[in-house]
Amino acid sequence: MTVRIFVPKDAAALALGAERVAKALSSEVEARGIDATIVRNGSRGLHWLEPMIEVETAQGRIAYGPVKASDVASLLDAGLATGRDHALCLGKTEELPFLKSQTRLTFARCGIVDPLSLADYRAHEGLKGLERAVTLAPADIVAHVTESGLRGRGGAGFPTGIKWKTVLDTPGARKYIVCNADEGDSGTFADRMIMEGDPFVLIEGMAIAGIATGATKGFVYIRSEYPHAIATMTQAVEIAHKAGVVGTSVLGSAHAFDIEIRTGAGAYVCGEETALLNSLEGKRGIVRAKPPLPAHKGLFDCPTVINNVISLASVPIIMDKGPVYYKDFGMGRSRGTIPIQIAGNARHRGLYEAAFGLTLGQIVDDIGGGTASGRPVKAVQVGGPLGAYFPRALFDTAFDYEAFAAKDGLIGHAGIVVFDDTADMLKQARFAMEFCAIESCGKCTPCRIGSTRGVEVADKIAQGIEPEKNRELLADLCNTMKFGSLCALGGFTPYPVTSAMNHFPDDFRPVPLVEAAE
C-alpha cells in the first residue's frame, strides 16, 4: 500500500526549510523505491517543531521534527515509512500534549488534510454546514449564528449574528461579503494558517454568510505579505467554483455566490474595516467616519458584511453541529473557542485553539512553556500592537473579552507576544507610538501628530530630560489620543503605552543625564 508522508507547505514551515525537506524526501523515496506519496499539508501549529513531518500508519499518524533536509536519509534508514523510532520522532501526533489538550473546532482539519483536495475536505466533515444552510431560510441561518454567541475574531468582538442581521434587513440590489484577511497584528498567524491549511472552510463560511444575508459576491482581502495564502486561496476558489460549491448555483441550490481574491498593499490601517473598503474600491486606505455602518453602506455603498477570517471559518461547524454545541464552550459572554497564537520569546510558539476561559498564566507558563531564552517572563503583550502589556501580577486574568477589558486590556485577534526580563518597557512604549506614526492613515489630528509627539516625549524621558513633566505629558497625550482619535489605531495605541507606564514604572525612570533643560 502507498504510504502517505505529510510535509507542511505552511509559510512558517517553509520559512524553516520545509521545501528542502520535501525535495530531499521525494528524491530519497524515489531512489529507495519506497511506495510513498508526499502530501503537502498545512501546519498543525507546533511552530517550534517545524518542519514537522508525519507519516500515516495503522496506529495513526507519527510525527517527526524539527526535520532538516540532512535528516531525511537517516529518518528513512530508521524506518520513517513505517513510523519507526528516531531521535527526531515525537510519537503519535494526536498524543502530543500541545495538541491533545486543544479543542479544535475551527482548526479541526488544519494540518490534517491536503488543503487543496475537496475530496479530503468532504471526507473530514467539510461542506456539511453549507449543505444545511442551503435548506434553511436566511433568517434561520442568522438566528443560528446569533445563538451560537460567535463574536468577531478580528479584534472588536462584535456579535457576528447581529452584524449579519443588519445586512439581511437592509434592502439593497447588491450586497457583499468581505473577508478581512489583512492580519496585521504582531504575533498573529491564525488567518494565514487556516487559509493555507484549510482554505475550503473559509470559502464555505463565506458562502453561508452570502446565503444568510442575500449577498452574491464575496471578496477576500489578503495582505500582500502572504503570498502562499494568496496562492492557496486562489486555487481553492477555482476548485470550489469548478465543483459547484460556489458559482451561479451554490451546491445546486437557487443561491448564487462568487468569491474574488484581492491583495492589499502593505498598510496596517487597511485592516480597519472602512479603510479596507476604501482600498478595495481602489481608493487611498483612509478611515471612514461611522455612521454609516458598513452593514448599511459598505463596499461601493452597498450593504456589506465585513468579517475576520476566523469569524467566517467558525461558521461551518456552527451550522453543522448546531449553535448549542458551539455555545457550550467558553465562559461569560465569550462563547466557543479562540485560536490563541503564542509568539515572541516563548518556548512553545504556535497556535493553540481552546475554549475561552484559560488564564493568561496557564497560556504563557503551561502551554507556552515560559520563555525560549529561559529567563523570567517580564511581560506579555496581548492583542497585537494596540494591545496592553500584562505583567505577571495579572496572569490570573481569564482569556475572555470582558475579563481583559476589566484589566484595561484587550484580546484583539488573540496574539500573545512574550517578553523576558531584558525587555525595556519604555522602549516598547516608544515603539507603540512609532508604529502608530508610521501606520497612521493621517486623517485625524490626535493620531497623526500625537503619535510623532509621543515618540519625541518618550525619547525625552529616556534621555532624562525633565522626566516628571514628560511622564505627565505622555499620560495626557494618551488621554487625548484615546478619546480624540477617529479609529482604534490612534485610539488604542495608548493601551501599550499606558500599561507599560503603569505596570513597569521603573523603566520610565532612567538615570537622568540632563538637568531641567528649559
Ligand X SMILES: Cc1cc2nc3c(=O)[nH]c(=O)nc-3n(C[C@H](O)[C@H](O)[C@H](O)COP(=O)(O)O)c2cc1C
Name the residues that contact another protein, by CB under 8 A: 289, 291, 442-446, 449-450, 452-453, 456-457, 469, 473, 476-477, 479-480, 483-486, 491
When asked if residue 177 is in the footprint of ligand X (CB under 6 A), the reply is no
How is residue 289 annotated by DSSP?
A: P
Contact 412, 155 (CB under 8 A): yes
Judged by CB under 6 A, the residue of 440, 470, 498, 499 near ligand SF4 is 440
Q: Nearer Cβ to ligand SF4, position 339 or 412?
A: 412
Contact partner at residue 450 from another protein, ligand SF4, ligand X, none, CB < 5 to 8 Å by partner kind: another protein
Residues 265-284 that bind ligand X (CB under 6 A): 269, 271-273
Contact partner at residue 483 from ligand SF4, another protein, ligand X, none, CB < 5 to 8 Å by partner kind: another protein
How is residue 449 annotated by DSSP?
A: T
Contact partner at residue 93 from ligand SF4, ligand X, another protein, none, CB < 5 to 8 Å by partner kind: none
Q: Nearer Cβ to ligand SF4, position 218 or 491?
A: 491
Q: How far is the CB of 441 from ligand X (least distance, A)?
A: 9
When asked if residue 184 is in the footprint of ligand X (CB under 6 A), the reply is yes
DSSP letters spanning 162-200: HHHHHHHHS--SS-EEEEEE---STT--HHHHHHHH-HH
Residue 382 backbone dihedrals phi, psi, to 5 degrees? -110, 130
Q: Nearer Cβ to ligand X, position 274 or 345?
A: 274
Sequence letter at residue 89: C
Rounded Cα distance between 369 and 367, Å, is: 5
Q: DSSP E strands: which ranges in 118-224? A: 176-181, 217-222
Rounded Cα distance between 90 and 410, Å, is: 35
Judged by CB under 6 A, the residue of 119, 137, 156, 324 near ligand X is 156
Rounded Cα distance between 201 and 115, Å, is: 10
Residues 289-348 that bind ligand X (CB under 6 A): 306-308, 311
**Preceding amide of 66 cis, omega within 30:** yes
Q: What's CA 224's distance to the chain center, in Å?
A: 15
When asked if residue 441 is in the footprint of ligand SF4 (CB under 6 A), the reply is yes
Q: How far is the CB of 88 from ligand X (least distance, A)?
A: 35
Q: What's CA 58's distance to the chain center, in Å?
A: 34
Q: How far is the CB of 481 from ligand SF4 (least distance, A)?
A: 8
* Residue whose C-alpha cell reads 494540518 in the numeric block: 111
Contact partner at residue 120 from ligand SF4, ligand X, another protein, none, CB < 5 to 8 Å by partner kind: none
Q: Nearer Cβ to ligand SF4, position 39 or 287?
A: 287
Q: How far is the CB of 241 from ligand X (least distance, A)?
A: 24
Contact 257, 210 (CB under 8 A): yes
299's grid cell: 463596499
Q: Nearer Cβ to another protein, position 81 or 449?
A: 449
Contact partner at residue 452 from ligand X, another protein, ligand SF4, none, CB < 5 to 8 Å by partner kind: another protein
Q: In this structure, how many other beta carbons lie within 10 angstroms of the beta carbon of residue 143? A: 17
When asked if residue 482 is in the footprint of ligand SF4 (CB under 6 A), the reply is no
Q: Nearer Cβ to ligand X, position 311 or 371?
A: 311
Rounded Cα distance between 284 and 268, Å, is: 13
Residue 401 host element (H or E): helix 401-406
Closest CA to 451 of 432, 466, 426, 468: 432
Q: What's CA 59's distance to the chain center, in Å?
A: 32
* Residue whose C-alpha cell reads 475576520 in the numeric block: 308
When asked if residue 486 is in the footprint of ligand SF4 (CB under 6 A), the reply is yes
* Residue whose C-alpha cell reads 495608548 in the numeric block: 494
Q: How far is the CB of 271 from ligand SF4 (least distance, A)?
A: 11
Contacts to ligand SF4 by CB under 6 A: 269, 287, 440-444, 447-448, 485-487, 489-490
Contacts to ligand X by CB under 6 A: 152-156, 158, 180, 182-184, 269, 271-273, 306-308, 311, 487-489
